[in-house]
Amino acid sequence: MPGIERSEKAGDVHPLEGGSLRLKFRHDRRSGLPRESALRFYPRYIAETIRKLWGELSLYREWTAIRHEVARDPNRWSYTDLAIAPPREDDLDTLDLYHATSGGEAALARQRRHDAIRDRAEAATPDAAVASGAAD
């Protein structure tokens, strides 16, 4: 996520190609195009690099402020939402994630099959579970 936001704020960089700095050379031009003047190329390149570094610094300061705000919040340990909540027994049945696509339904069926196999294996060997519990 930070890389995508950084690329979006940089403007002319695809998120998968994003980076803090980009090396450019005056002689790296497409064939057939004339070499750009040094008096035009280098000032533009320096200005572009400074603009990108300023954007990086701004993002760093913004994220640091957010991180400090979260760290100072007295209620930070009581915060919860669905994404970080421990899984419940009925999550497989209630979450749309598993029912929106055929792949989700297949994963749900596979999970239920594995759970059934595991339950049967545990039910078939109660003595082994008791013996291993007694050995501890």
Which stretch of DSSP H or E encloses residue 121? helix 102-124
C-alpha separations of 110 from 86, 89, 123 in Å: 21, 16, 20
pLDDT 10s digits, 90-123: 877 888 878 888 888 898 899 889 989 999 998 8
Whole-model pTM? 0.51
Structure tokens at 3: 């890389």
Q: Which amino acid is residue 37, in one-letter code?
A: S
Structure tokens at 15: 């998120």
Q: Which pLDDT value is given to residue 1?
A: 53
pLDDT at 19 over 90: no
Q: Token match 């929106």: residue? A: 100
**pLDDT higher for 2 or 40?**
40
pLDDT 10s digits, 54-83: 998 999 999 999 999 999 999 989 988 878
Q: Which pLDDT value is given to residue 125?
A: 79
CB 35 within 8 A of CB 27: yes
Q: Model confidence at 133, in pLDDT bands (50, 70, 90)?
A: low
Assign 75 to helix, strand or coil: coil
pLDDT at 7 over 80: no
Q: Model confidence at 136, in pLDDT bands (50, 70, 90)?
A: very low
Assign 25 to helix, strand or coil: coil
Q: Which pLDDT value is given to residue 61?
A: 97
